[in-house]
């Protein structure tokens, strides 16, 4: 591994008690949105929640992550798969890009199959906006099932 990337993760406050197991597993295995780091060393420099709607912690937490060297912020898969999905996810991404100049990635771990099936039945993720958001974490069926 010749390149080290420092990342921060912001999760949905609904999952504030989440220990990060799926995110950390995906990071370790370079799965889901973390497959972009294949062959690179990655250091997690921050992990926190948005602080609940409307996401007030997003304004401040990135400062601390940057103090630890963050170069990329991942908006966790929980912001995508929760019901309803975070209505502010694209606002968070734009804010972080604009204020901090950091790269923002939608998602962390692969979307579990059980969530994909429900959202497909509900028609939640229709349109180009959602294709961009779910794209990095849709993955293949076997991997989605492994994250159920």
51-101 pLDDT, tens digit each: 999 999 999 999 999 999 999 999 999 999 999 999 999 999 999 999 999
pLDDT at 1 over 50: no
Q: What is the CATH number of the domain that holds 57?
A: 3.40.50
pLDDT at 22 over 60: yes
Which pLDDT band, with edges at 50, 70 and 90, does 3 fall under?
confident
| Rounded alpha-carbon distances, angstroms, from residue 148 to 19, 57, 84, 144 | 16, 28, 19, 7
Structural domains counted in the chain: 1
Mean pLDDT, residues 108-124 taken together = 97
* Average pLDDT across the chain, whole number: 95
In angstroms, the CA 61 to CA 18 distance is 17
Position 83 scores a pLDDT of: 93
What domain range is 23 assigned to? 4-146
pLDDT tens-place string over residues 33-46: 999 999 999 999 99
């Amino acid at each position: 591994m010749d390149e080290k990337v420092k990342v921060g993760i912001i999760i949905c406050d609904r999952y504030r008690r989440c220990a990060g197991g799926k995110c950390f597993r995906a990071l370790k295995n370079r799965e889901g949105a973390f497959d972009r780091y294949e062959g690179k060393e990655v250091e997690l420099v921050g992990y926190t929640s948005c602080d609940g709607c409307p996401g007030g912690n997003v304004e401040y937490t990135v400062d601390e992550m940057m103090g630890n060297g963050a170069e990329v912020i991942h908006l966790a898969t929980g912001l995508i798969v929760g019901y309803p999905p975070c209505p502010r996810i694209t606002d968070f991404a734009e804010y972080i890009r604009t204020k901090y100049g950091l790269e923002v990635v939608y998602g962390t771990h692969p979307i579990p199959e059980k969530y994909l099936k429900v959202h497909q039945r509900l028609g939640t993720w229709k349109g180009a906006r959602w294709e961009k958001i779910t794209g990095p974490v849709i993955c293949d069926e076997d991997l989605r099932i492994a994250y159920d």
